[in-house]
Amino acid sequence: MSQYILALDQGTTSSRAILFDRDGRIHGSAQQEYPQHFPQPGWVEHDPRDIWNSQLAVAREVLRAHRVGSFHLAAIGIANQRETTVVWDRHSGEPIAPAIVWQDRRTAEACDHLREAGWAERIQAKTGLELDAYFSASKLAWLLEHVPGARARAERGELAFGTVDSWLVFKLCGRHVTDASNASRTMLFNIHTMQWDAGLLELFSIPEAMLPEVVASSGDIGPASSEWFGGPVPIAGIAGDQQAATFGQACHKPGMVKNTYGTGCFMLMHAGRSPAVSHNRLLSTVGWTVDGRTDYLIEGSVFMGGATVQWLRDGLGIIRESHEVEALAASVPDNGGVFLVPAFAGLGAPHWDPYARGALVGMTRGTHRGHIARAAVEAIAYQSAELLDAMCRDTGCPVAEVRADGGAARNDMLMQFQADVLGVPVVRPQVTETTALGAAYLAGLAVGFWESQEEIAAQWRAERVFEPAIGDEQRRALMGRWNEAVVRSKGWA
């Protein structure tokens, strides 16, 4: 009898593989970082082969370490970094260029031209998205224009485009598919008709032959080849990482909110069975398609969350390991008037300024690395507080709590400060790897490993609740000062 679901969690800076049992508990995990490439200012690239090789390696590692064979696995679920754009040769299976990562800003000017031509509102009406270089469409158009021979090959049907889920499924089983949650992040998919949009394909000059088939988030996609894990294993779940985390947090009902603290921070609210309309520059996106029904979400995206701490480690060298930031930030009683706006890749929601750049303001001769570390931690919380404020203005309904997950959710100082500036409780679950858990749940539902979403929701357990510890006046003062710092970062490039 199958005992586990294998979740492949392909993230921006690392690949993970996690085994989940029927109680939704982690049986084993493995993780591997892979190289990041920054060939020019504002450019961020991955080698698609590094993505595949690292993901395959950790999957094999966790199975080997826990003596789990393919016959122990009921299914594979995949969660992935979204918007990152991969193009490969259909016959050789080799990428034709580096993957352009979601953080990449090289197409900001092209998006500006489309905005000036009046396309922003029309694109938002169809896709629920802001016209921004964040999404896949302009990245794919750039590859077709700048890789020699790519456009002609694409028009002949020789090339395949996909987000990272498509790339992994192709390598695992040879099918060229994506799910609706990932399709909705390309800026080429109409979230009302649930189909690729001919008008947008024409606008971006994308040959339709390049596009993957759109399948359900939970359903039989096909078996992973026996060469990878010693026997065939059904691939039965796919979702973009933030939609997967929302599902894994059991935010299955309208008004429920989760925030993932990963490389970026992504706050999502369940919006029901029809697309929401944001008047505060948030995104309307497909959550998941299960049993023929589609759930929609409203989302705010922060580009630099945990990546801000990585910058302290790799860029400034003031910490050796990411987990050291909490102790360093706690070494000072407050931020000493220092604010860090980590707009290293521009600003996401609700500002959408691709030309903003990082700003460190308020320093004096008394400023030292503890203040900078604290400002970095607080910046993650401030950016997320902006998102919840926009969501509440969009929906008009108060939020009872925010469910937190992701690597940085283990930072107690961050979670407490987040509750303070949100003004609502922040709840950390017992299983914080909810991205992988959501992918596992989607796969498990498809193969009967779990019977229903109600069974899944019953498995969710809180590990700790962080209650707000400051008053409204202090909260408004802190957010006001943060907003002043943000203004100084805007339009810099």
Residue numbers in the known binding site for ATP are: 12-14, 263, 306, 310, 407
> How many whole angstroms separate alpha carbon 259 and alpha carbon 273?
21
The count of other CB atoms within 10 Å of the CB of residue 281 is: 15
Indicate the annotated binding residues for ADP.
Answer: 12, 16, 263, 306, 407, 411
Torsion angle of alpha carbons 239, 242, 247, 250, nearest 10°? 170
Both tokens of 476, joined, read 């408004």
Phi and psi torsions of 172, nearest 5°: -75, -40
8 A C-beta contact, residue 284 and residue 126: no
Indicate the annotated binding residues for glycerol.
Answer: 82-83, 134, 241-242
Both tokens of 280, joined, read 């505060």
Got the DSSP string for 8-56? EEE-SSEEEEEEE-TTS-EEEEEEEE---B--STT--EE-HHHHHHHHH
> How many whole angstroms separate alpha carbon 23 and alpha carbon 461?
11
> How many whole angstroms separate alpha carbon 34 and alpha carbon 21?
27
Considering only CA atoms, which of 110, 155, 157 is closest in space to residue 137? 110
Cα atoms found within 13 Å of the Cα of residue 109, Cβ hemisphere only: 4
Both tokens of 254, joined, read 């309208």
Indicate the annotated binding residues for sn-glycerol 3-phosphate.
Answer: 12, 82-83, 134, 241
Helix, strand counts (H, E) of the chain: 17, 23
Which residues are CB-neighbours of 125 under 8 A, at least 6 positions away? none
Both tokens of 283, joined, read 């995104």
- 481 membership: H or E segment, kind and range: helix 472-489
Indicate the annotated binding residues.
Answer: 12-14, 16, 82-83, 134, 241-242, 263, 306, 310, 407, 411
The count of other CB atoms within 10 Å of the CB of residue 330 is: 14
- CA angle at residue 337 from 332 to 340, to 5 degrees? 90
Residue ranges in 164-305 assigned as alpha helix (H): 164-173, 180-183, 198-204, 226-229, 241-248
Residue with tokens 């008009």: 396
3-state secondary structure of 179: strand
> How many whole angstroms separate alpha carbon 292 and alpha carbon 297?
17
> How many whole angstroms separate alpha carbon 469 and alpha carbon 486?
24
3-state secondary structure of 353: strand
Beta strands in 249-399 (DSSP E): 257-261, 265-272, 283-290, 293-302, 339-341, 359-361
Phi and psi torsions of 163, nearest 5°: -80, 180
